[in-house]
Chain A
Amino acid sequence: MASSADADKVDPIHQFAVNNLVEFGELGGSIIAFNTAGLFMVIIVLAITAFLLLSTSSRGLVPGRLQSLAEMAYEFIAGILREAAGPEGMRFFPLVFSLFMFILFANLIGMIPYFFTVTSHLIVTAALAALVMITVVGYGFYKNGIGFLNLFVPSGVPGFLMPMIILIEVISFLSRPISLSVRLFANMLAGHITLKVFAGFIVSLSAFGALGYGGAILPFILIVALTALEILVAFLQAYVFAMLTCMYLNDAIHPSH
């Protein structure tokens, strides 16, 4: 039984702490180390690789359970990409599929107790968003040249409104990487803090003895429901990230409105 002194120590932020596992040395005043986040990214990539290798090893015409799961994932992403960016967008399928699988596995592995959630760190999601935006801008200029700037000039706008509209379009384009990364990060952060705050209620209540144990059932039931919700959010955020990536890629492929 937890004493009340332990109950005060419930820290919902502690789960996000990054610990250095292996330190390699120093470079420019900062420590180069293999940390928890790196370990879990390796685990995520290994899990995805194992899943896809296992599911495609038999390659039956009539798919088994695992194979149909992999086919569902493929069809799901291919469907989003075709719908948002057209058949030309399919050349970006590897990028979008990798992003989706990485975020989905990161979110789902993070749901296991005591496991680290990679996507609850802004630096990770910001790197993913930067990858998407650099691809969009780079491919947009590579394919359309200076015509990529048509993206900021919607057709059918009266001339006197044009400077205003262009300003708004530019600002909205520049805010995309911020919203893309902060959405995923804040969703995972808020969800995991909520789970741990309710878990803290159970510990605090059970400090009151028998009555507390009875009362602790309520947050316990809530935590089960919240975990189910968080698994839904984990999938939904991976889906949203993949879909927004497809829409931004569509802007690079077809820049004129």
Chain B
Amino acid sequence: MEPEAAALIGAGFACVGMGGAAVGLGHIFGNFLAGALRNPAAADGQFGRLIFGFAVIEALGIFSLLIALLLIFA
């Protein structure tokens, strides 16, 4: 196999990791929405924690995207 082809296939595989981040983000926002609809008064106070969870999970997806970008362009 050509090294370039292997790198491109590897980039595709690396992007699978973003699926995990997608599941995590859906989980966190879905649960926030469920909690916020039960107790709307408390929802605004938890926005910071929501964004914190979002940032931590998103970083993991971004790491796998970064691997893919490195394989394609670097």
Contacts and interface: CB of A to CB of B under 8 A. Distances in A.
Nearest to B64: A186
Interface residues of B, number: 14
B13 interface: no
Contact of B52 (A183, A186, A236, A243): A243
A182 B63 CA distance: 8
B23 to A, nearest CB: 19
Contacts of B69: 186, 189-190, 193
B73 A84 contact: no
A186 B18 CA distance: 13
Contact of B59 (A179, A243, A247): A179
Contact of B55 (A80, A189, A243): A243
A243 B48 contact: yes
Contacts of B33: none
Given A83-B48, A247-B52, A183 B65 contact: no
A186 B55 contact: no
Contacts, number: 38
B62 interface: yes
Nearest to B73: A13
A83 B55 CA distance: 17
A247 B65 CA distance: 26
A175 to B, nearest CB: 9
Contacts of B66: 182, 186
A239 B51 contact: yes
Nearest to A240: B55
Interface string B41-74: 0000000100110111011001101100100010
Interface string A108-133: 00000000000000000000000000
A227 interface: no
B72 to A, nearest CB: 9
A244 B55 contact: yes
A18 to B, nearest CB: 15
A190 B55 CA distance: 16
Contact of B62 (A80, A182, A239): A182
A135 interface: no
Interface in A206-247: 236, 239-240, 243-244, 247
A55 interface: no
Interface of A: 13, 80, 83-84, 179, 182-183, 186-187, 189-190, 193, 236, 239-240, 243-244, 247
Q: Ordered nearest first, which 3 A-B pairs have the shortest CB separation?
A: A240-B55, A186-B62, A179-B59
